[in-house]
Amino acid sequence: MGRQTVVVLYVIALVAVVVGVDILFFRHHLWERLMVNVGIVLVFAAFALRFLKRS
């Protein structure tokens, strides 16, 4: 797979996780949802920086 395909799949996975968590757990809780979404994005960013760096 090309690098661009991996990045696109990674972003789709990020969006799916954020939307899934929002719908399943934090539908009516604005601030909690915002904090969890920021946390999820930070975890995905840390994973990307660790494992998806350019060689």
pLDDT tens digit sequence for 2-35:
889 988 999 999 999 999 999 999 899 999 999 9
pLDDT greater than 80 at residue 53: no
pTM of the predicted protein model: 0.86
- Looking at the structure of the chain, the number of domains it has is 1
Least Cα distance to 9 among 38, 44, 42 occurs for: 44
**Cα–Cα dist 37/18, whole Å:** 6
- pLDDT at position 55, please? 54
**Residue 37: which domain range?**
3-51
Length of the chain: 55
In this prediction, residue 32 carries a pLDDT of: 95
- H helix runs in 1-55, sequence order: 3-25, 30-51
- Comparing 36 with 2, the larger pLDDT belongs to 36
Mean pLDDT of 47-51: 91
